[in-house]
Amino acid sequence: MPLIPSDSPLLKVPANVDRRTVLFLDGIRYSLHVFDLTAARLTNALQLLSDDDQPPEELATRIALAISDAWLLVDVVHRLRELLQQVPRLKKKEPTLQVFLRQTASIEPLRHFVQHFRTGIDTYAATGMPVWGTLAWVRDNPSTGEPENFSIAPGTFFHGAFVPTCTFDTVANKYVERVVLQAGKLSVDLASLYEAVYAFAPWYTQWFASAFPGSEHYGADFRAKFIVRRVPRNQHSQSEPPSGAA
């Protein structure tokens, strides 16, 4: 089920809510919506990259799709955290909110790092990490059921390049992470991030419904189409002949 279904209360902001609050609420709703769409795209991209048959001419595009959506998840959650800590009427010490903020705190260093490539290049070069980081994930082989670990490194595979994988717990006999985005010493398990957002969204929706009641609502998600009719150049208006002309 999508995070923001078509009948979600989040689409029904009461008409008496002030403009500033409306913008906060829209920012949060669209952050959740974008996260949902991006997570679905990333899942499909990783499934495609898990296939044994990888056409060489398509590999760069497939990796770009996966790595860009992985970073987009980080950026969207950063934005969501910022908005939630400022939106009116939501108590900042609310336990559910505090749990969510703690669960997603690991994305902040990553988000800030990727925003400063210019000053971070030397760090990447020293550690042998690709500039866009690396992405590793685990899946159970559909035929054998055995766990498989995949890694992708976008960009040039230079001498000494370091490509980490998911951590395997030999005691528990399983992988610790499931989808890991790593850049230098920074990393985040995107699967855990996914679970945190999907657990928080229903609570936020219930809070919204109780904090912003009302039967009169603003419209939402406006679409318009405007058509300009061009007059062909060979069609010019004819002036009427002067009075008395033959």
pLDDT in tens, 115-147: 777 776 777 777 777 888 899 999 998 889 888
Q: pTM for this one?
A: 0.87
Q: What does the block give as tokens for 22? A: 């409306």
Question: In sequence order, which ranges of 104-169 are alpha helices (DSSP H)?
Answer: 107-114, 117-127
Q: How confident is the model at residue 237 (pLDDT cuts 50, 70, 90)?
A: low
Query: Whole-angstrom Cα distance, residue 168 to residue 177?
Result: 8
Q: Which helix (H) or strand (E) holds 63?
A: helix 56-84
Q: Tell me the three state secondary structure of residue 8.
A: coil
Amino acid in the structure at residue 149: N
DSSP letter at 115?
T
Q: What does the block give as tokens for 196? A: 């945190």
pLDDT for res 246: 42
Residue that the structure tokens 């769409």 belong to: 37
- The domain segmentation of the chain, as residue ranges, is 9-211
In terms of C-beta density within 10 A (0-12 exposed, 13-18 middle, 19 or more buried), how is residue 10 classed? buried
